[in-house]
């Protein structure tokens, strides 16, 4: 790979070796947890206490501080999974496979939270728990894609070939991501159009926007923590018989 | 990059391109079915189905909401700023229902060209702001 500078490529090679990654994850997790808790505290305080009530929806709009970050993360995690799947297929990198499969349950969780909070928000505002409009339906399909990735991985005994199958599924499903994002523009939906990601300035008041962005970053940190923890476990499972796991266990014993 | 990896990468990109194309045509074919509701212009132009239930979306026209009797019957007009359709509904309206609000109603057209709704859902917009800001935004527009 001549087009990538040597130090960068060396860094990636070192990080992608399982023992090195394991140690690195161990070192990062406490810091990430501290940042996550800080952001979460600030975001919740700002969103639930400091932010004013909405002119139309009163206090019930405050579920936005969970719903929107969870929905953003459900898309983000899926794109991450697809990228990891691409890397796993092209470079046959073990760590990419591990990161892919560790992301799936977390992404499924975010999708589930987005669907449930959306439903709870829909009842008082729209007057219904659920409608089959393009946005809600495509988000539900995303949940099924996540569940498909998890069960396909579980169904194949050999984990290397399981990872390859899952990578292809993750890449196929990525077609759904732009559909979810643009569904509110392409078709008439009950769900309202995007607020923050519009090209002109966001149509949300700044006092409400700041806590929302804080919560969004907090959710990103939560994902990092969760995926590193899950990846550590998955690495241990896969490499039980390798020397570095044995060494580590001996050191701890 | 090694040739074999380049080949795999190319294969993946080809697969993604093919999939996007397939998705594009599938969505184009189903475009009508993916619309959650018809607009009032569609109804006036006769695009909406006759004698069957469909959904109609639009803004509640200011000053058009009437309650002729003491019961739950309510009459109002929906508009998409070019065409208007009269709607009748008997039931409990969602909290966000008010004049100038976007709503989606499910029902059918009767012989008089009036849309008889069985269900009314409120659509809220993508704007979030404190009441004071909304008040100050409205004032200049409302002054004669």
CA angle A98, A8, A102 (to 5 degrees): 15
Evaluate whether residue B107 is within a structural domain: yes
Position with higher pLDDT, B16 vs B52: B16
Q: According to the model, what pLDDT value does residue A204 have?
A: 86
Query: Within this chain, do residues B14 and B76 fall inside the same structural domain, yes or no?
Result: no
Q: pTM, whole model, 2 decimals?
A: 0.88
A87 is in which domain, residue-wise? 60-189+230-252
Distance, in Å, from the CA atom of A192 to the CA atom of A171, rounded to the nearest integer, reads 28
A54, A171, A188 member nearest B36 (Cβ): A188
On whether residue B77 sits in a domain, the answer given is yes
| Window 44-73 of A, Cβ < 8 Å to B | 52-57, 61, 64
Domain hosting residue B7, numbered range: 3-32
Indicate if B43 and B9 belong to the same structural domain.
no
pLDDT of residue A200: 63
A233-241 — which CB contacts under 8 Å span 24+ positions?
A233/A102, A234/A98, A234/A101, A234/A102, A235/A18, A235/A21, A235/A22, A235/A98, A236/A22, A238/A94, A238/A98, A238/A159, A239/A18
In this complex, is the C-beta atom of A93 within 8 Å of any C-beta atom belonging to chain B?
no
Count structural domains, chain A: 1
Q: Which of B34, B120, B129 sits opposite A205 (nearest CB)?
A: B129
Q: Do A55 and B20 touch (CB under 8 A)?
A: no
The answer to whether residues B20 and B52 belong to one domain is: no
Q: 3-state class of B126 per DSSP? A: coil
Position B142 confidence tier, pLDDT thresholds 50, 70, 90: very low
In a domain, A209, yes or no: no
Q: What is the pLDDT of residue A201?
A: 66
Do B42 and B112 sit in the same domain of this protein? Answer: yes
B69 is in an annotated binding site: no
Would you say residue B15 lies in a domain?
A: yes
Looking at the structure, tell me whether residues B28 and B44 fall in a common domain. Answer: no
Is B102 within a domain? Answer: yes
On whether the CB atoms of residues B41 and A188 are closer than 8 A, the answer is no
Q: Is A52 within 8 Å of B31 when comparing Cβ atoms?
A: no
Are B26 and B49 within one domain? no
Contact assignment for A131 to B34 by CB distance below 8 Å: no
- Could you tell me if residue A242 is inside a domain? yes
Q: Which residues contact A153 (CB under 8 A, 6 or more apart)?
A: A101, A104, A159, A162, A163, A165, A166
| CB contact at 8 A, A55 and B133 | yes
**CATH code for the domain of B40:** 2.40.50.140
Confirm whether B141 is domain-assigned: no
If asked whether residues B7 and B53 sit together in one domain, one would say no
Whether B130 maps to a domain, the answer reads no
**pLDDT tens digits, one per residue of A146-176:** 999 999 999 999 989 999 999 999 999 999 9
Is it the case that residue A3 has pLDDT exceeding 70? no
Q: Are residues B57 and B26 in the same domain?
A: no
In a domain, A200, yes or no: no
Q: How far is CA B100 from CA A167, A208, B84, B126, in A?
A: 48, 24, 13, 15
Q: Would residue A174 count as lying in a domain?
A: yes
CA angle A179/A181/A184 to nearest 5° reads 90
Q: Which residue among A53, A131, A175 places its CB closest to the CB of B19?
A: A175
Q: Tell me, rounded to whole angstroms, the distance of Cα A84 from its chain centroid.
A: 13
The pLDDT value recorded for residue B143 is 40
Residues B90, B39, single domain; the answer is yes
Asked if the Cβ–Cβ distance from B16 to A174 is below 8 Å, we say yes
Q: Which of the residue ranges A6-10, A104-108, A141-145, B43-47 would you say has the lowest mean pLDDT?
A: A6-10
Residue B136 lies in a domain: no
Span of A2-16, A171-185, A237-251, B43-57 with lowest mean pLDDT:
A2-16
Residue in chain A closest to B2 (alpha carbons) equals A1
Indicate whether B112 belongs to any domain. yes
A62-119: per-residue pLDDT in tens?
A: 999 999 999 999 999 999 999 999 999 998 888 999 999 999 999 999 999 999 999 9
Partner-chain contact B12 A55, CB within 8 Å: no
Are residues B97 and B76 part of one domain? yes
| Same-domain check for residues B83 and B21 | no
- Distance of alpha carbon A122 from alpha carbon A131, whole angstroms: 9
Do B98 and B41 sit in the same domain of this protein? yes
- Count how many domains chain B has: 2
A171 to chain B: closest CA residue: B16
Residue A238 lies in a domain: yes
Instruction: Say how far apart CA B86 and CA B75 lie, in whole Å.
Output: 7
Q: What is the ipTM of this complex?
A: 0.79
């Amino acid at each position: 790979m001549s087009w990538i500078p040597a130090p960068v490529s060396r860094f990636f090679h070192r990080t992608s070796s399982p023992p090195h990654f394991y140690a690195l994850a161990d070192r990062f997790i406490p810091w990430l947890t501290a940042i996550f808790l800080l952001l979460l505290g600030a975001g919740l305080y700002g969103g639930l206490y400091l932010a004013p009530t909405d002119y139309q929806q009163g206090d019930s709009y405050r579920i936005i501080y969970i719903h929107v970050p969870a929905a953003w993360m459900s898309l983000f995690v899926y794109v991450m999974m697809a990228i990891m799947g691409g890397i796993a297929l092209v470079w046959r990198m073990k760590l990419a496979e591990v990161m892919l499969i560790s992301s799936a349950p977390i992404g499924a969780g975010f999708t589930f939270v987005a669907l449930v909070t959306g439903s709870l928000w829909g009842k008082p505002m729209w007057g219904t728990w659920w409608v089959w409009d393009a946005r809600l339906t495509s988000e539900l399909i995303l949940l099924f894609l996540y569940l498909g990735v998890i069960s396909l991985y579980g169904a194949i005994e050999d984990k290397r070939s399981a990872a390859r199958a899952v990578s292809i599924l993750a890449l196929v499903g990525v077609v759904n991501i732009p559909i979810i994002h643009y569904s509110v523009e392409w078709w008439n939906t009950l769900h309202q159009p995007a607020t923050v990601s519009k090209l002109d300035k966001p149509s949300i008041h700044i006092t409400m926007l700041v806590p929302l962005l804080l919560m969004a970053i907090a959710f990103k940190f939560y994902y990092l923590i969760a995926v590193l923890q899950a990846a550590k476990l998955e690495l241990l499972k896969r490499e039980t018989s390798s020397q570095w796991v044995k060494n580590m266990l001996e050191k701890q014993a | 990059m090694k040739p074999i990896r380049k080949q795999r990468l190319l294969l993946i990109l080809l697969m993604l391109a093919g999939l996007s194309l397939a998705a594009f045509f599938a969505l184009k074919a189903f475009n009508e079915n993916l619309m959650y509701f018809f607009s009032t212009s569609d109804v006036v132009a006769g695009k909406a189905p006759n004698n069957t239930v469909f959904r109609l979306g639009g803004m509640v026209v200011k000053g058009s909401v009437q309650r002729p009797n003491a019961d739950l019957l309510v009459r109002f007009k929906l508009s998409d700023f070019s065409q208007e359709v009269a709607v009748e509904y008997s039931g409990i309206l969602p909290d966000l229902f008010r004049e100038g609000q976007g709503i989606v109603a499910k029902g059918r057209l009767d012989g008089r060209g009036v849309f008889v709704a069985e269900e009314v859902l409120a659509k809220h917009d993508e704007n979030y702001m404190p009441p004071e800001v909304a008040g100050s935004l409205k004032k200049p527009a409302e002054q004669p």
